[in-house]
């Protein structure tokens, strides 16, 4: 039995025979098997904290100190930890080490507020310092991981991304935590997705300790490393777009396909965690029959078990039929995800139109998104969408706080979906 379960589900088991191309959705779900056990690898973690001037607002810094103190208390004897603070420069507060003396470590953390590192935000300095600390004790036997917390925009975003991608290429995963309304959420999310990490948005500073604990516990529960999902497409099949849909919705755009193979990097898998990708596939017209659409291949490592480049493969087939009723049958689990992605896309496009000054299209899309959110039982998000639509319609523009809540709220819609049973014939091909 494989250590990781790979499920592949098409939106339709059959499509109608016509002269036109067909758009179908493929949902790929990846989850560690129940028998895989718990994460055993020791940590080599670096925490990079934004200490620019804005972090003093609304007692943010007090919550950060509390959160990091808790992290220090939760470290295991073999774990390594370093703490870096940054603004327009970076300073290593705690070098990479086993923190045996939790009291002394806690006192150092509580001294964060006394550290002078400037007022601007140069996240690149924090990333580089964190990488240096990780590499001092980096090994394949440890989970090498960086957590970045920031509440503002940074200079040199492209250089930050390059540095994080370099870290990922060297076996270091990166998670990002955005605090408040000013940070660039797409920038932080892109880093986390590209570097096998997680991304969080915190709108209430008192939630900082909770998120830090969630991230630490998640890293301590990693059981599968470096998972990669590939689609080996059959002839004349193309991937139009792809979305990461669990744990958060993120538009991956048009995937780079090389020799009919499209590959998506996943984050390291935690015990009992599901990660999912939604692909938009374009199928050619064909005669009645059953055809292979693609082969999905999952590769992963479990160094603690001496396993590297393990492969799990699934063939994905679809039927072409002249029976319209048969072709109309959908897979509810897939379509629920498609509906969630549709709402996310609508609010994203609405905010783009708002920024471009097209109030009519922005308000239309937001109200449409609100209707869909109500149908999905998400009344709070629906009200937020309607409130932003009213603000835009009245000439006030979208609010920073409101749009952040709406953006991250719709990104989390797939987390709120109940487990929908699969119909007979759908599932692991």
Given this model, what pLDDT does residue 429 score?
A: 42
Q: What is the DSSP letter of 76?
A: -
pLDDT band at 424 (very low <50, low <70, confident <90, very high): low
The three-class DSSP label of residue 306 is coil
Given this model, what pLDDT does residue 265 score?
A: 85
Q: Which residues contact 227 (CB under 8 A, 6 or more apart)?
A: 4, 30, 265, 266, 267, 268, 269, 275, 298, 299, 300
pTM of the model: 0.92
Torsion from C-alpha of 339, 340, 346, 352, nearest 10 degrees: -150
Given this model, what pLDDT does residue 242 score?
A: 96
- Does the pLDDT value for residue 301 go beyond 70? yes
Q: Which residue has the tokens 């086993």?
A: 98
pLDDT band at 421 (very low <50, low <70, confident <90, very high): low
Structural tokens at position 399: 């609010």
- Does the pLDDT value for residue 334 go beyond 80? yes
- Does the pLDDT value for residue 249 go beyond 50? yes
Q: How far apart are CA 308 and CA 80, in angstroms?
A: 24
pLDDT above 90 coverage of the chain, percent: 68
- Does the pLDDT value for residue 428 go beyond 60? no
Every domain of the chain and the residues it spans: 4-37+223-329, 43-218, 333-416
C-alpha distances (whole Å) from 213 to each of 68, 72, 100, 148, 306 are 9, 10, 19, 14, 29
Given this model, what pLDDT does residue 246 score?
A: 94
Q: Give the residue from 219, 212, 260, 216 showing the smallest Cα distance to 239.
A: 260
Given this model, what pLDDT does residue 56 score?
A: 66
Q: What is the DSSP letter of 414?
A: G
Question: What pairs with residue 356 in β-bridges?
Answer: none
Given this model, what pLDDT does residue 395 score?
A: 85
- What is the maximal distance between C-alpha atoms in the chain? 73
- Find the mean pLDDT for residues 325-340: 95
Q: Which residues contact 247 (CB under 8 A, 6 or more apart)?
A: 198, 273, 275, 414, 415
Q: Give the residue from 129, 41, 133 showing the smallest Cα distance to 81.
A: 133
Mean pLDDT (the chain) is 90
- Find the mean pLDDT for residues 151-173: 91
Q: Which residues contact 272 (CB under 8 A, 6 or more apart)?
A: 31, 32
Number of H helices, E strands in the chain: 11, 18
pLDDT tens profile 215-247: 999 999 999 999 999 999 999 999 999 999 999
Q: How far apart are CA 145 and CA 130, in angstroms?
A: 9
pLDDT above 70 coverage of the chain, percent: 95
Given this model, what pLDDT does residue 379 score?
A: 95
pLDDT tens profile 338-395: 999 999 999 999 989 998 999 999 999 999 999 999 999 999 999 999 999 999 999 8
Q: Beta strands 199-202 and 222-233: pairing type?
A: unpaired
pLDDT band at 300 (very low <50, low <70, confident <90, very high): very high
Which has more confidence, 397 or 341? 341
Residues 4-37+223-329, CATH architecture: Sandwich (2.60)
Given this model, what pLDDT does residue 254 score?
A: 83
- Does the pLDDT value for residue 117 go beyond 80? no
pLDDT tens profile 34-65: 888 777 789 999 999 998 877 766 578 888 88
Q: How far apart are CA 238 and CA 261, in angstroms?
A: 10
pLDDT tens profile 257-287: 899 999 998 999 999 899 999 999 999 999 9
Residues 43-218, CATH architecture: 3-Layer(aba) Sandwich (3.40)
- Find the mean pLDDT for residues 90-106: 83
- Find the mean pLDDT for residues 190-217: 91
pLDDT tens profile 2-32: 899 999 999 999 999 988 999 999 999 999 9
């Amino acid at each position: 039995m494989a250590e990781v379960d790979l499920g592949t589900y098409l939106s339709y088991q059959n499509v109608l025979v016509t002269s036109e191309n067909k758009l179908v959705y493929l949902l790929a779900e990846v989850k560690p098997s129940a028998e895989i056990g718990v994460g055993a690898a020791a940590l080599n973690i670096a925490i990079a904290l934004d200490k620019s001037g804005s972090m003093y607002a609304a007692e943010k810094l007090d919550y950060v100190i509390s959160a990091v103190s808790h992290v220090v208390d939760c470290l295991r004897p073999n774990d390594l930890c370093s703490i870096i603070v940054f603004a327009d420069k970076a300073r290593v507060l705690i070098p990479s080490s086993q923190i045996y003396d939790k009291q002394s470590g806690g006192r150092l953390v509580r001294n964060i507020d006394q550290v002078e590192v400037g007022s601007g935000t140069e996240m690149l300095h924090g990333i580089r310092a964190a990488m240096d600390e990780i590499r001092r004790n980096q090994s394949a036997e440890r989970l090498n991981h960086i957590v970045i917390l920031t509440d503002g925009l940074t200079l040199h975003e492209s250089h930050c991304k390059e540095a994080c991608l370099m870290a990922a290429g060297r076996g270091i995963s990166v998670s990002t935590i955005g605090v408040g309304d000013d940070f660039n959420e797409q920038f932080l999310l892109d880093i986390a997705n590209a570097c096998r990490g997680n991304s969080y948005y915190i709108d209430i500073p008192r939630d900082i300790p909770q998120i830090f604990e969630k991230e630490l516990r998640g890293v301590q529960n990693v059981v599968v490393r470096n998972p990669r999902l590939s689609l080996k497409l059959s002839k004349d099949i193309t991937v139009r777009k792809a979305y990461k849909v669990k744990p958060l919705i993120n538009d991956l755009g048009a995937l780079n396909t090389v020799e009919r193979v499209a590959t998506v990097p996943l984050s390291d898998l935690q015990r009992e965690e599901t990660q999912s990708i939604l692909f938009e596939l374009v199928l050619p017209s064909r005669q009645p029959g059953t055809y292979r659409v693609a082969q999905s291949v999952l590769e992963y490592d479990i160094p603690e078990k001496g396993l590297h480049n393990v492969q799990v493969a699934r063939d994905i087939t679809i039927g072409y039929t002249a029976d319209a009723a048969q072709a109309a049958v959908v897979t509810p689990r897939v379509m629920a995800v498609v509906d969630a992605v549709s709402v996310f896309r609508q609010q994203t496009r609405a905010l783009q139109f708002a920024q471009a000054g097209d109030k009519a299209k922005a308000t239309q899309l937001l109200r449409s998104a609100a209707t869909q959110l109500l149908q999905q039982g998400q009344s709070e998000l629906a009200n937020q969408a309607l409130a932003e639509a009213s603000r835009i319609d009245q000439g006030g523009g979208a609010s920073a706080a409101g749009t952040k809540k709406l953006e991250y709220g719709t990104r989390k819609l797939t987390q709120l979906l109940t487990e929908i049973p699969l119909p007979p014939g759908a599932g692991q091909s």
